[in-house]
Structure 1
Amino acid sequence: MLTISNSVTIADWEIDISQIRAQGSGGQNVNKVASAVHLRFDIQSSTLPPIYKERLMALSDQRISKEGVVIIKAQSYRTLELNKEDALARLKALIQSAGKQQKMRRPTKPTKGSQRRRVDHKTRKGKTKSLRGKVSIS
Structure 2
Amino acid sequence: MKLSQVDPHSRATMTFDWGAVKWFVQPGTTPGATLSFGEVVLNPGQGHDRHNHETAEEVLYVLSGAGEQMLDDQEPFTVHPGDVIHVPKGMFHATLNTGWAPMRLVAIYNPGGAEERALAQLPDFAEVPAGSVPTYVRPGG
Q: TM (normalized to structure 1)?
A: 0.28
Higher helix share: 1
Larger radius of gyration: 1
Higher RCO, Cα 8 Å, sep 6+: 2
Q: What's the TM-score once normalised by structure 2's chain length?
A: 0.28
Q: Choose between structure 1 and 2: higher strand proportion.
A: 2
